[in-house]
A and B are shown apart, each in its own frame.
Chain A
Amino acid sequence: MNILLLGIGNVLWADEGFGVRVIERLQKSYRFPDNVKVMDGGTQGVYLVEHVQTADVLLVFDAVDYGLRPGTLKRIENDDVPNFLGAKKMSLHQTGFQEVLAMAQMLGCYPQHLLLIGVQPEELDDYGGSLRPIVRAQIQPAIDMALTHLQAFGIEAETVSSDGDLADPVLNIQRYEQERPTASEACRTGDDRVLMLEGFQLRPPQPAGENTMQVDVDYRGKY
């Protein structure tokens, strides 16, 4: 039985990086039997199909918007998963993970068990930023949820302490946070037309005022 633990998302966009950060922690702190693969899927779309196809049991970690309180963990299983995935993804040619699942299905290889462990993000529009504390605090609970789920398949993880990184060490969460350029050096926000789109409203409504309509941020002339 092949088991895949897959984290998806973009580490450069704050809470969007949740899935990848869960995988980072799994890699550092746990060891699994050989039939379990731990993968940082990043924002790869179509290219993940083969891994989904070969998995009998698939666990996906991702930041997904369910309209819940930020930091809420949500567990979704099997047929319900495609309905929740991919609503807000930056991925290969806008191939959300939903489509990856559909492609796997068309190819006739679909995981027998599918579990999505998602977190409600607090902040996405912070380029170069890291997980917000409330989301970061859910890494371990998400892992615990996964480990409990895996027990049903007879999988026990061994805890270890390793310095190894799956991704290049510069993306390691500590270094990523510590070495971030200051806001005055590097503009962190984006285009407010996009930020104001309905699909992007994850924050509480901003007080009305001139500032919410300005894209001319305050970091001008610094670089």
Chain B
Amino acid sequence: MTVTHTPNGFNLNDAGRRVIVDPVTRIEGHMRCEVNIDDDNIIRNAVSSGTMWRGLEVILKGRDPRDAWAFVQRICGVCTGTHALTSVRAVEDALKIKIPENANSIRNLMQLSLQVQDHLVHFYHLHALDWVNPVNALKADPAATSALQQKISPHNPKSSPGYFRDTQNRLLKFVESGQLGPFKNGYWTNPAYLLPPEADLMAVTHYLEALDFQKDIMKIRTVFGGKDPHPNWLVGGVPCAINIDGVGANGAINMERLNLVSSIIDRTIDFIDQVYIPDLLAIAGFYKGWMYGGGISGQSLLSYGDIPDKANDYSAANLLMPRGAIINGDLSKVHEVDLTDPEQIKEFIPHSWYKYPDDSLGLHPWDGVTEPNYKLGPNTKGDRTHIKELDEAAKYSWIKAPRWRGHAMEVGPLARYVIGYAQGNKEITEQINFVLKTLDVPVTALFSTLGRTAARGLEAQWAAGKMRYFMDKMVANIKSGDLATANVALWDPETWPSSVKGVGFTEAPRGALGHWLKIENTKIANYQCVVPTTWNGSPRDEQGNIGAFEAALMNTKVERPDEPVEILRTLHSFDPCLACSTHIISPDGTELTQVKVR
């Protein structure tokens, strides 16, 4: 037995039974989680491990930096556009390329549309099943469901008893055919599910509605990126011309296309206001007694910021999505963040399967090294190919441990929202106050699994509103006669200095994303990505600070140790995406989650 007090304030005790969840499902990539629970089934030690490794950075070596976006877009199926945007920004930063205002508006529209779509898909299709029980929905009374719907969202037209009866019948047909489809592998008899059948039916109905609706949002990226999946990006701007008087769906952007985007934005705002937010508040109302999962969100939060209002100004004052760092839980001070400062962001590897020239020192991403070193600690159970139990005192993850001035940080919607709240951002403060008031909970309720899920919903609402803002801004700019979408003055590599470096950043749906690169003799000499799940899923560091996932699992009560609903609920609330945070290799899809209790 080991009892440790971590510098970031957690008491770890590995005496109790060990519960292993591997893989953690409904996420991108492979992740394993091990916890120790005490006699009351409360988690007293948590270990999160990324179980794959990728060679992303290294396959970019020697390539033309103007092409890097096309590669990073293929890393995974989720953040395609965000990686591409981060990559072109890094190259523009290195080469000091300025982009036109229209390009900035279009990029923001693409990024915001991804933000909205990703949050929506996360809430309904990846996370809802941690709170919503579709099997229980079969017991619901459609009339009572209709009444509930009208109460929580009076303006939603789809609320008749017949509408919910239809969904229920469809669901029944699915269940009776023996193929639960996306609902298989759930723990549908677990007492952790608290919704009445009517709320379950309402949520399942919206699961289907959201699935149908999210495809419209994607069309925005088809318009501006030429196609989707895999829209086009361009160093220096965006690869689409504007010809406002043109016609047709192909070629330059014209009024017809802009009107299409505009109508999708309106419908997105309606869907979020009438469906997503009411559902979120209704579900949260039933779970507000379940206040687990805060982890380090009450102490250490980081956001790089995003959505530049004016083009080419990446200072905090110009970023509409908040930028800053909070440490030691002091919300009265938001620290400035500088991605180029070698003293701020460093990645450590004492508990990661990598090797540095000196393992005890952290490296800034510009000087980052990705050299595998798969070694297991002496207390590992199992062998190198079949680990039964990790030894967290040694190396135990393919994720590095990034730290901001030595602190483990949480990134993502909750971090952005708390930072915005601490800075007195008017829109964010109003949204948060509305939720706190509706649910009748104190501000500290934000620091929880549910708070993370709520922040994501509020951010989707905010992002939809900002899509309207940039749409109007761009149309006004076009009407004033500015049609520029790209600056190709520095397109020719002969104009480039022989050795430069740059950093690009965005706020991906799941958190702060940075790409650091060095260009030598017109080719990529080094490329390092520090992705959101590297922050959130980080293992312990040299000082013994645990990462955000690990911290969030601590002290949670698990109703049934062999059905890890609570563990999945909290991990999913981060919207983890390990395809880029770890080094992917396995395309193995054979998985039912295996839960082992030892």
Q: Is the CB of B74 within 8 A of A191?
A: no
Cβ contacts A106-117/B at 8 Å (1 or 0 each): 111000000000
A41 within 8 A of B: yes
Cross-chain contact of B58 among A48, A186, A190 (Cβ < 8 A): A186
Number of chain B residues close to chain A: CB under 8 A: 70
Q: Is the CB of A128 within 8 A of B55?
A: yes
Q: Is the CB of B229 within 8 A of A197?
A: no
What is the CB-to-nearest-CB distance from B304 to chain A, in angstroms, rounded to a whole number?
24
Q: Is the CB of A40 within 8 A of B229?
A: yes
What is the CB-to-nearest-CB distance from B174 to chain A, in angstroms, rounded to a whole number?
6
Q: Which residue of A lies closest to B69 (CB)?
A: A168
Cross-chain contact of A125 among B218, B585, B589 (Cβ < 8 A): B585
- Known contacts: A179-B63, A185-B58. The answer to whether A47 contacts B586 by CB under 8 A is no
A44–B218 alpha-carbon span in the complex (Å): 12
Cβ contacts A23-58/B at 8 Å (1 or 0 each): 000000000000000011111111111100000000
Cross-chain contact of A191 among B53, B78, B232 (Cβ < 8 A): B53
Q: Is the CB of B585 within 8 A of A195?
A: yes
Cross-chain contact of B179 among A102, A195, A200, A217 (Cβ < 8 A): A102
B270 within 8 A of A: no
- By a CB distance below 8 angstroms, the chain B residues around A42 are 74, 77, 80, 229-230
Q: Is the CB of A40 within 8 A of B371?
A: no
Cross-chain contact of B71 among A170, A193, A215 (Cβ < 8 A): A170
A19 within 8 A of B: no
Q: Is the CB of A181 within 8 A of B181?
A: no
Choose the segment among A68-76, A82-90, A136-144, A147-155 that binds chain B (4+ C-beta atoms closer than 8 Å). A82-90
Q: Is the CB of A103 within 8 A of B181?
A: yes
Cross-chain contact of B590 among A11, A45, A185, A199 (Cβ < 8 A): A199
B51 within 8 A of A: yes
Q: Is the CB of A168 within 8 A of B208?
A: no
- By a CB distance below 8 angstroms, the chain A residues around B370 are 223
- Could you say which of A16, A43, A216 has the most chain B C-beta atoms within 10 Å of its C-beta? A43
What is the CB-to-nearest-CB distance from B443 to chain A, in angstroms, rounded to a whole number?
31
Cross-chain contact of B586 among A103, A185, A197, A221 (Cβ < 8 A): A197
Q: Is the CB of B70 within 8 A of A185?
A: no
A94–B67 alpha-carbon span in the complex (Å): 27
Q: Is the CB of A181 within 8 A of B214?
A: no
- Known contacts: A127-B54, A191-B374. The answer to whether A47 contacts B585 by CB under 8 A is no
Q: Is the CB of B28 within 8 A of A93?
A: yes
Cross-chain contact of B59 among A92, A166, A180, A195 (Cβ < 8 A): A180
A192 within 8 A of B: yes
What is the CB-to-nearest-CB distance from B11 to chain A, in angstroms, rounded to a whole number?
31
Cβ contacts B38-52/A at 8 Å (1 or 0 each): 000000000000011
Cβ contacts B245-271/A at 8 Å (1 or 0 each): 000000000000000000000000000
A96 within 8 A of B: yes
Q: Is the CB of A90 within 8 A of B584?
A: yes
- Known contacts: A106-B181, A181-B62, A220-B355. The answer to whether A193 contacts B51 by CB under 8 A is yes
Q: Which residue of A lies closest to B585 (CB)?
A: A190
A72–B26 alpha-carbon span in the complex (Å): 31
Interface positions of B from 55 to 82, Cβ below 8 Å from A: 55, 58-59, 61-64, 67, 69-71, 74-78, 80
A41–B228 alpha-carbon span in the complex (Å): 9
Q: Is the CB of A223 within 8 A of B58?
A: yes
A61 within 8 A of B: no
Q: Which residue of B lies closest to A51 (CB)?
A: B215
- Known contacts: A89-B587, A89-B589, A186-B58. The answer to whether A215 contacts B374 by CB under 8 A is yes
- By a CB distance below 8 angstroms, the chain A residues around B228 are 47
- By a CB distance below 8 angstroms, the chain B residues around A168 are 67, 69-70, 232
- By a CB distance below 8 angstroms, the chain B residues around A189 are 585
Cβ contacts B184-217/A at 8 Å (1 or 0 each): 0000000000000000000000001001101100
A200–B74 alpha-carbon span in the complex (Å): 21
A187 within 8 A of B: yes
Interface positions of A from 97 to 134, Cβ below 8 Å from B: 99, 102-103, 105-108, 124-125, 127-128
A179–B59 alpha-carbon span in the complex (Å): 10
What is the CB-to-nearest-CB distance from A201 to chain B, in angstroms, rounded to a whole number?
11
Q: Which residue of B lies closest to A54 (CB)?
A: B215
- By a CB distance below 8 angstroms, the chain B residues around A217 are 372
Q: Which residue of A lies closest to B582 (CB)?
A: A191
Q: Is the CB of A187 within 8 A of B58?
A: yes
Q: Is the CB of A190 within 8 A of B53?
A: yes
- Known contacts: A12-B74, A106-B170, A171-B70. The answer to whether A193 contacts B229 by CB under 8 A is no
Q: Which residue of B lies closest to A101 (CB)?
A: B181
Q: Is the CB of B64 within 8 A of A170?
A: yes
The chain A residues found within 8 Å of chain B, CB to CB, are: 10-13, 16, 39-50, 86-96, 99, 102-103, 105-108, 124-125, 127-128, 166-168, 170-171, 179-181, 185-197, 199-200, 213, 215-217, 220-221, 223
Q: List 13 A-B contacts (CB under 8 A).
A: A42-B80, A87-B589, A106-B208, A128-B58, A128-B59, A168-B69, A171-B71, A181-B63, A190-B55, A190-B584, A191-B51, A197-B588, A220-B372
Give 7 closest A-B pairs by Cβ, nearest first: A190-B585, A102-B181, A50-B215, A215-B374, A186-B58, A128-B59, A168-B70
